[in-house]
């Protein structure tokens, strides 16, 4: 199966299935010399971990990460970092009826169409469980970015028709927010919505927003390797994400040029700064030094305990009521996935940028000669 690797200089490959022995990632191209231990990664894994609230799946997984290689005496070695997460709470029997049935909203039919074979236990590679491996790898990239003064703030902006209020935005509340919303009132409203839909056997989607500050100007490459294009690819590769916006996104289509352009001015030090940030911090695929602002739309969980019509492998329409343990809303647990995929993308772009100017290469190797 192609398609399980992502990145250029910093490349991550994930492996494993939802109901296999485990899942994991190999992170290659990461620089040597950064302090790293399992707890650095676990801080992120706990944000995605299932079974932590009444509005998430009841599947109980410790999601403990084992670092198998690439770290010695607490520091990265510059060699591939292999990460393993063992599966401990699979209920594969819940999926027995899926052997011959293609579930609505899932990749069952398309995997069969491509490979002529599929792992029907929880969707195999197409399961949301695969994203745990992305978080494990992305946590390492996020740690490095943080050490360079780059801050990643990701949160739930909307669940269904419940939206956060900018006036009530409280970053500190994110640590205890069940929905991932930085708004106490919206969090309670969204929980009520989710619990009501769960009682009906249904689900709901939402919007994730991200603000990334501290990325210097000049990061990203033109044409086919634009930073916004790579961020969009990274986020769209998350199974539940159906659209991605940078800055004003789709709303730019409704503006006049005079309303959409970010006008420049000089700050007190004579540096160029923008009066607004409608572009979301990226022009021509390259950062302009202001915050990178993005959002992604997450679909409702397709596995629902509600009567639907499916089709079997013989093309016969059959009634279906999906059993098993599923999130009535995947958005809160997907926030950290979007954050980690963005961290991997930005760090990869920054590593690529080190060869953009001849003077940078000369300085690096001139320093080596003087050592």
Specify the pLDDT at position 79: 98
339-363 pLDDT tens trace:
999 999 999 999 999 999 999 999 9
Torsion of CA 323, 156, 197, 111, to 10 degrees: -30
How far is 170 from 174, CA to CA, in rounded Å? 7
Q: Which domain holds residue 213?
A: 5-370
Residues recorded for the chain: 371
Of residues 3 and 229, the one with the higher pLDDT is 229
pLDDT at 161 over 90: yes
Specify the pLDDT at position 90: 55
Domain with residue 116: its CATH number is 3.60.150.10
How far is 104 from 98, CA to CA, in rounded Å? 11
Residues 211-232 have a mean pLDDT of 97
Residues 158-167 have a mean pLDDT of 97
Is the separation of the CB atoms in 154 and 335 below 8 Å? yes
pLDDT at 73 over 60: yes
How far is 315 from 298, CA to CA, in rounded Å? 29
Lowest-pLDDT range of 25-34, 108-117, 319-328 = 319-328
Q: 160: which DSSP letter?
A: T
Q: How many domains does the chain have?
A: 1
Within 10 A of 280 (CB to CB), how many other CB atoms are there?
26
Contact residues for 8 (Cβ-Cβ < 8 A; gap 6+): 225, 348, 352
pLDDT over 70 percentage in the chain:
92
257-286 pLDDT tens trace:
999 999 999 888 888 889 999 999 999 999
Of residues 324 and 81, the one with the higher pLDDT is 81
Question: Phi and psi for 203 in degrees, rounded to 5?
Answer: -145, 175
pLDDT at 144 over 70: yes
Specify the pLDDT at position 53: 59
pLDDT at 208 over 70: yes
pLDDT at 92 over 70: no
């Amino acid at each position: 199966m192609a398609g399980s690797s992502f990145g250029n200089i910093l490349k991550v490959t994930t492996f494993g299935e939802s109901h296999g022995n485990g899942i994991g990632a190999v992170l290659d191209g990461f620089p040597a010399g950064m302090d790293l231990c399992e707890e650095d990664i676990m801080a992120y894994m706990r944000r995605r971990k299932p079974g932590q609230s009444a509005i998430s799946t009841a599947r109980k997984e410790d999601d403990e990460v084992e670092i198998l290689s690439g770290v010695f005496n607490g520091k990265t070695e510059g060699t591939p970092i292999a990460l393993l997460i063992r599966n401990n709470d699979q209920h594969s029997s819940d999926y027995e009826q899926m052997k011959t049935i293609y579930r609505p909203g899932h990749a069952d039919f398309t995997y069969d169409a491509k490979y002529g074979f599929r792992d029907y236990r929880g969707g195999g590679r197409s399961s949301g469980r695969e994203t745990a491996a992305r978080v494990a790898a992305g946590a390492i990239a996020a740690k490095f970015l943080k050490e360079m003064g780059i801050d990643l703030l990701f949160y739930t902006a909307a669940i269904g028709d419940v939206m956060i209020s900018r006036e009530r935005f409280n970053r500190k509340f994110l640590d205890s927010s069940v929905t991932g919303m930085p708004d106490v009132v919206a969090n309670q409203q969204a929980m009520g919505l989710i619990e009501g839909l769960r009682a009906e056997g249904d689900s709901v989607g939402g919007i994730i927003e991200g603000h990334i500050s501290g990325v210097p100007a000049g990061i990203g490459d033109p044409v086919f390797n634009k930073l916004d294009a790579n961020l969009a690819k990274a986020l769209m590769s998350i199974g539940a994400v159906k659209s991605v916006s940078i800055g004003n996104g789709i709303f730019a289509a409704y503006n006049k040029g005079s309303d959409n352009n970010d006008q420049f001015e000089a700050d007190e030090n004579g540096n160029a700064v923008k009066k607004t940030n409608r572009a979301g911090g990226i022009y021509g695929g390259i950062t302009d030094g202001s915050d990178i602002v993005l959002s992604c739309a997450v679909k409702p969980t397709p596995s629902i305990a509600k009567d639907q019509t499916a089709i079997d492998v013989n093309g016969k329409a059959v009634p279906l009521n999906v059993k098993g343990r599923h999130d009535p809303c995947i958005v809160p647990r997907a926030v950290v996935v979007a954050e980690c995929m963005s961290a991997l993308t930005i760090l990869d772009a920054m590593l690529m940028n080190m060869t953009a100017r001849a003077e940078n290469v000369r300085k690096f190797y001139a320093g080596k000669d003087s050592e």
